[in-house]
Amino acid sequence: MTKRRVEPILWLLFSAGGVLAAVFLPVLVVLFGLAFPLGWVTPPSHDHLHAVLGHPLTALFLFGLFALCLAHWAHRFRYTLYDGLQLKGSKGLITVLCYGGAVLGSVVSAVVLATVV
């Protein structure tokens, strides 16, 4: 009988976030991080962007993307701190900070996304 464990679930969230980050982030970074601010490409008009973001489907999708990417970060960063910096002693604290941060971020995402819908 398999015990109910959170580790596999965290790993699944991490993986899902990893896939989404790999597929969606490169283009988003290029567009919103560089091309639009630097004027390589004319930024979309506010109305257009508002319309796109305000569409419930987009908002829902973005919520998923943000939440999972944060889960991805939380999981990876937690191990990076354990292994990379050998912060074994403060295991509990790191866990709380990482996953807590991800949960908090997800809540904030929901609130912010709700403001545009």
Partner 1 sequence: MSETEVQPRAYRRPVSTWWWLEKRSYFVFAMRELSSVFVAWFVVFLLMLTYAVGRGDDQYQSFLDWAATPWVVVLNLVTLVFVVLHMVTWFNLTPQATVVRLRGQRVPAWAIIASQYVGLAVVSAFVIWLVTR
Partner 2 sequence: MADSIRLQVSRYRPEEGSAPTLQEYDVPLRKEWSVLDGLNYVKDHLDSTLSYRWSCRMGICGSCGMSVNGTPELTCGTFLADLAPGPVRVEPMRNFPVVRDLVVDIGDFMDKLPRVKPWIIRDDEPEPDGEYLQTPEELDEYKQFSMCINCMLCYSACPVYGLDPDFIGPAAIALAERYDLDSRDRGARERLDVLIEHEGVWGCTFVGECTTVCPKHVDPAGAIQRYKLKAAKESVKAFLLPRGAR
Binding residues for partner 2, rule: CB under 8 A, are 1-5, 7-9, 11-12, 15, 76, 79, 82-83, 86, 88
36-69 burial: b if 16+ Cβ within 10 Å, else e: eeeeeeeeeeeeeeeeeeeeeeebeebbebbbbb
Q: Within the chain, what is the greatest distance between any pair of CA atoms?
A: 58
Report in angstroms how near the CB of residue 106 gets to partner 1 at its nearest.
10
Nearer to partner 1, 3 or 46 (CB): 46
Size of the site for partner 1 (CB under 8 A): 54
Of 43-82, binders to partner 1 (CB under 8 A) are: 43-44, 46-50, 52-53, 62, 65-66, 69-70, 72-73, 75-77, 79-80
CA atoms within 13 A on the CB side of 67: 18
- Does 115 participate in binding partner 1 (rule CB under 8 A)? yes
